[in-house]
DNA sequence: ATTTCTGCAAATGCTTTGCATTGCA
DNA sequence: TGCAATGCAAAGCATTTGCAGAAAT
């Protein structure tokens, strides 16, 4: 895995401790945190960091294509350092967002789904999102 | 198509002019309007209708299952009187949301995709959303 | 030396809430 | 008549903005 500093430099954006920290949080977790979660995670080690900076940082990281924005419908966005398209599951009980691993719908992984859709709709498409909604195994068990 | 009044009555919610009007707007259009759009559309014929009522109404119509909520990631929800699962395309230029008609991924139409995912993830799933993002034919033409 | 970013506080704007009034059943 | 819905205005909150100081190139 490439060094974070290098990746920012390649995107021609200034390399700051805040940006490296935010991106590091996203690379380390599989939880798809939202801005508030990222902020809480960083607060102990970066007491001066402001929420506004986290907002600005995820925005620019998303724009340069280092991370992707997810919208599972809570109101508020989540962020994911994995930029390859992959489906997500949202637990309506606990609010956790997870990746769907080893997704077997091949068309979703490569570009054939997008190409097929461009044909069918006449749009120029740039991305796809597939979201599943339900209850996660933990929440089923605890019968909350 | 069933009468709107009847449909509300079947869902055991009080039948009011405002609710019929909001639902009628959603059934007549394919534009997946948000709250503000619904409000603007109704204003001429219902000058007294308040935005808060539109918010409350779409919320209850969604809860009783008469409409579905879409979240294309603008911030703000859109509403759709077609409750069968079907993919949507979002134009990042003009912001229009359209249905994908005659979607050929059969698994998406019936329940097999959800069942397969339940197996794979251990979740109890209730719904799926598939969104495409890009530029619509009109926006491509006008090269905006 | 310049340009860009950060952090604070204030502003914004969508959505929700409380409550008196109205209207459906 | 009783309970629920409406409409208004106020409150709430997440997000954005403006700007002076700080930091990166």
Burial of A117 (0-12, 13-18, 19+ CB in 10 A): buried
Minimal Cβ distance to A128: which of B103, B124, B131: B131
Do the Cβ atoms of B92 and B132 come closer than 8 Å?
no
Asked if A91 lies within 8 A of B123 by C-beta distance, the reply is yes
Q: What is the mean pLDDT of residues A46-74?
A: 95
pLDDT of residue B111: 78
Question: pLDDT, tens digit, for every residue of A11-32?
Answer: 999 999 999 999 999 999 999 9
Q: Which nucleotide is nearest to A47 (CA to C1')?
A: C7
CATH number corresponding to A88-136: 3.30.1490.190
- Residue B94 Cβ under 7 A from any strand D atom: no
Residues of chain B with pLDDT under 70: 1, 144
CATH number corresponding to B2-80: 1.10.10.10
How far does the CA of residue A81 sit from the closest CA of chain B (Å)? 18
How far does the CA of residue B130 sit from the closest CA of chain A (Å)? 5
- Say whether residue B130 is in contact with chain A using an 8 A CB cutoff: yes
Residue ranges of the domains in chain B? 2-80, 88-136
CA distance A88 to B97: 21
Q: What is the mean pLDDT of residues A112-124?
A: 91
How long is the CA B77 to C1' C16 vector, in angstroms? 15
Biggest distance spanned by C-alpha atoms of chain B? 51
pLDDT of residue B2: 77
CA distance A60 to B9: 49
Q: Please tell me which residue, B108 or A8, carries the higher pLDDT value.
A: A8
- Say whether residue A132 is in contact with chain B using an 8 A CB cutoff: yes
Q: What is the mean pLDDT of residues A65-94?
A: 91
């Amino acid at each position: 895995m490439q060094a974070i500093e290098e990746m920012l430099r390649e995107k021609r954006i200034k390399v700051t401790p805040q940006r490296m920290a935010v991106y590091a949080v996203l690379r380390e977790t599989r939880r798809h945190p939202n801005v508030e979660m990222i902020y809480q995670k960083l607060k102990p080690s970066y007491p001066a960091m402001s929420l506004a900076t986290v907002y600005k940082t995820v925005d620019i990281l998303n724009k340069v294509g280092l991370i992707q924005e997810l919208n599972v419908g809570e109101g508020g966005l989540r962020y994911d350092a994995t930029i390859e398209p992959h489906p997500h599951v949202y637990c309506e009980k606990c609010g956790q967002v997870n990746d769907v691993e080893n997704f077997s719908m091949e068309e979703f992984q490569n570009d054939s789904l997008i190409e097929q859709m461009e044909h069918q709709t006449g749009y120029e498409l740039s991305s796809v999102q597939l979201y599943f909604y339900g209850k996660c195994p933990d929440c089923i068990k605890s019968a909350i």
